[in-house]
Structure 1
Amino acid sequence: MNIKSLLLGSAAALAVVSGAQAADAVVAAEPEPMEYVRVCDAYGTGFFYIPGTETCLKVGGLLRFEKNYAKADNSAAAYEWHTRARIQIEAKNDSEWGTVYSWIRLQGDSYNNTADGAAGGNQTRWWYYFGIGGLEFGRFDAPGTRFQGYGGRTDWGGYYGNDHDQQYVSYTFNYDNFSAFVAIENDLYNGGNYAPNSQVDLYEINSKGKTVAVYGVNGREYMPNVSAGVKGAFGDYEVGAFVGYDESIESFNVRKWVRGDIGMFGFTLMGLYSDDARNEYFNYDGFSGILGLSAKVTDTVTVAKDIQWWDDDSWRVIGNVNWEVASGFSVLLEASYGDGKQVGDKVKTGMLRFQRSF
């Protein structure tokens, strides 16, 4: 065998071996592209896209500790510990009919270590609403209360209604600097405040001499309460009006307000009227007014005061100081004093709150 034949044979053998090894080689798959969470800035801060969708999600909540004090004239003082945990989730996406949105809140409260289910004890509650465009369905604070921006400037904010925690359907219309809403609200409590099997309605005469259905007994199963409102923004000021009709007692509540925020100062002036003390929207037969004032004295400290007066000469004044210690952590000190039938006999209250928000 000559040198040429030996070289050719060796090359052929190497080719066979190399081919066999190539057939058994493991080829690594290309890595799947990773989809990172993207910030969604279409609906404000805190939203991010749910991976693989065009829906934006926001998660938030708070933890709270409070020490409360209350004392009326000729009665013992009451001291209470209160803690709260809250988490809420909001989701939004666009559609040809407007924004599709939903909101869920889970909240737990504990009062003085009282056992779950006991009166004034631990409470766990859900609230929620959802909608598309201006149409909304839910169970939360009534649309009118939210539409007016709640009450005054303090945490208490004044006594302006009893229409919280309602099942409702509402429609809100926005145009330029103006908005309006109309809502129907379920007026039943724990399944009923009417007598569905009674053939004879029960009535009484209210303080105005008007014959009305007895609240908690009569009412119409198929008829909800109705409310509506309108407001407009004019530079630093907002002006609005609200009307609510409690069908169970055929009673109206009217509210009007002016609100302003000018630089470091703010004010709220609200007038309220109801023609029956059992009106769900405002439990008072007559007129009441709220004046709220606030000032941001530093970048982290805000002071506020609310004064409310009723036309039976009841009154209450409340003031607070709120300190934003750090981003997401605040301390609130609030105290009040009031007198009269709507408040109690020379009632003093105080509250110290520590809160973590996110």
Structure 2
Amino acid sequence: MNIKSLLLGSAAALAAVSGAQAADAIVAAQPEPMEYVRVCDAFGAGFFYIPGSETCLKIDGYVRFQTNFGRNASGTSDWNSFTRGQVNFDARSDSELGTLRGYIALQGNALNSTSRGVNVDQAFIEIGGLKVGYFFNWWDDGLSGETDDIGQNTIFNSIRYTYTAGSFYAGLSVDELESQSATTQVAPFGVARAVDPNNNVGISGIVGGAFGGVKVNVLGGYDTDQENGAIRGILTADVGPGTFGLAAIWSSGQNFYYDKAEWTVAAEYAVKVTDKFKITPGFQYFWTLDQNRFGDFVGSRDAWKAGLTFDYQLAKNLSAKASVQYYDPDRAQESWSGYLRLQRSF
């Protein structure tokens, strides 16, 4: 082997080593370790940790298809279908002041191709017993059936505090009633009621508790602008194969919480026929329906309402409901209404 061959061989070997080192210098970036969703069991079922935080989130909701039917007071019969979708976001975490909660519910309704949209159903902040935002008032909590008519305007921008001690609770809420819609009831002879919703504030309070299979609460609401209010009591009890419910309301006159009658009593019995099938008959009576232009109850017209509701669990998270109601006021045309509903919850 001559010197020229030796030099050429050494150069080739050196080039090969250098090429290998250059190739080794190009290293693909290692993937970041994935943070899998962790279950959060601190606030109940369905919560998970938002990745990268200590906040727990729950997402649920439902899709509903419903067909309403009936005959109104003018004697006209009709039916109408609509579809509704709702998504709820419930975020919670621990803080120095207690559990911090933020809740948003978005609801979309589609009556037809020209009447559809999505709105905020609820949005509020809650920490400890304090709750502020746009949410349903206690007047929205009725009996379990569809016959009872014991709530009126039930959702406001409010500031609420609830004290809880075991099975006992008490709460006070300051509600913004401005721009809320008044009931459509009119006084005798078609005189419109004197409604002034501007700059209006309401105060509502509740006291209640649970005693074994019996639950009871007393609720009051006062409309500062109309200087009237209403008081309601509800009792539910496990009786035999079902749950019995009883409610009574007194209203002093025109107000945004309840003024559909001066007095009313409602009762129902939800019978659990099987694990999947429930039947709920209900009845309600109204004393003194009419008001004068000052918002005072007058006259002697009463009314009664009776109905029947069927609930059936078709499958897990899939339910069907059918309801029919009959309403008969004194010296006026009776009416009836009902609906068929299919709902998928998640």
Gapped regions of structure 1 (runs ≥ 5): 2-9, 117-121, 194-205, 208-213
C-alpha distance in structure 2 between counterparts of 1:74 and 1:242, whole Å: 35
SS at match of 1:323: strand
State the shift of 1:287 in Å: 1.2
Query: 1:226-305 counterparts in 2 under 5 A?
Result: 226-261=203-238, 264-276=241-253, 278-305=254-281
Q: Does 1:318 align with 2:310?
A: no
C-alpha distance in structure 2 between counterparts of 1:48 and 1:247, whole Å: 43
SS at match of 1:21: helix
Corresponding position of 1:337: 326
Corresponding position of 2:295: none
State the shift of 1:273 in Å: 0.7
C-alpha distance in structure 1 between counterparts of 2:64 and 2:74, whole Å: 31
Q: Does 1:139 align with 2:134?
A: yes
Cα 1:264–1:42 change in 2 (3 A) is: farther
Corresponding position of 1:153: 144
Query: Is this contact kept in 2: 1:153–1:267, CA < 8 A?
Result: no
C-alpha distance in structure 1 between counterparts of 2:35 and 2:117, whole Å: 40
Corresponding position of 1:355: 343
Choose 26-35 or 242-251, whichever is displaced more: 26-35
C-alpha distance in structure 1 between counterparts of 2:101 and 2:160, whole Å: 14
Choose 173-182 or 254-263, whichever is displaced more: 254-263
Instruction: Choose from 263, 270, 282 the match for 1:306.
Output: 282
Corresponding position of 1:5: none
In structure 1, give the amino acid aligned to 2:195.
G
Q: Does 1:130 align with 2:125?
A: yes
Query: Is this contact kept in 1: 2:88–2:104, CA < 8 A?
Result: yes
Query: Is this contact kept in 2: 1:151–1:157, CA < 8 A?
Result: no
Corresponding position of 1:196: none
State the shift of 1:259 in Å: 1.3
TM-score, reference length from structure 1? 0.79
CA deviation vs aligned residue, 1:112-164 (integer Å, no higher than 9, x gap) = x2733xxxxx353213111211111111222x225xxx11221x352112222
Choose 14-23 or 74-83, whichever is displaced more: 14-23
CA deviation vs aligned residue, 1:173-204 (integer Å, no higher than 9, x gap) = 111111111000011116x99xxxxxxxxxxx
State the shift of 1:345 in Å: 2.5
State the shift of 1:263 in Å: 7.1
In structure 2, give the amino acid aligned to 1:289.
V
Q: Does 1:174 align with 2:151?
A: no
SS at match of 1:153: coil
Query: 1:78-157 counterparts in 2 under 5 A?
Result: 78-111=78-111, 113=112, 115-116=114-115, 122-127=116-121, 128-142=123-137, 144-146=138-140, 150-154=141-145, 156=146
TM-score, reference length from structure 2? 0.82
Corresponding position of 1:33: 33
C-alpha distance in structure 1 between counterparts of 2:103 and 2:29, whole Å: 42
State the shift of 1:22 in Å: 4.2
C-alpha distance in structure 2 between counterparts of 1:337 and 1:159, whole Å: 12
Q: Does 1:71 align with 2:71?
A: yes
Corresponding position of 1:203: none
C-alpha distance in structure 1 between counterparts of 2:73 and 2:22, whole Å: 95
Choose 333-342 or 323-332, whichever is displaced more: 333-342
Cα 1:157–1:91 change in 2 (3 A) is: farther
Query: Is this contact kept in 1: 2:147–2:284, CA < 8 A?
Result: no
Gapped regions of structure 2 (runs ≥ 5): 2-8, 289-301
CA deviation vs aligned residue, 1:301-357 (integer Å, no higher than 9, x gap) = 111122111124311112111111111211111111120159x62212121111111
State the shift of 1:29 in Å: 5.0
State the shift of 1:261 in Å: 3.4
- Over the matched positions of the two proteins, sequence identity in percent amounts to 31
State the shift of 1:286 in Å: 1.6
Cα 1:78–1:24 change in 2 (3 A) is: closer
C-alpha distance in structure 2 between counterparts of 1:260 and 1:138, whole Å: 32
State the shift of 1:74 in Å: 6.1
SS at match of 2:333: strand
C-alpha distance in structure 2 between counterparts of 1:353 and 1:20, whole Å: 73
Query: 1:171-250 counterparts in 2 under 5 A?
Result: 171-189=161-179, 215-217=194-196, 221=199, 224-250=201-227
Cα 1:39–1:309 change in 2 (3 A) is: same
State the shift of 1:169 in Å: 0.8
- Over the aligned positions, Cα root-mean-square deviation in angstroms equals 3.1
C-alpha distance in structure 2 between counterparts of 1:124 and 1:341, whole Å: 39
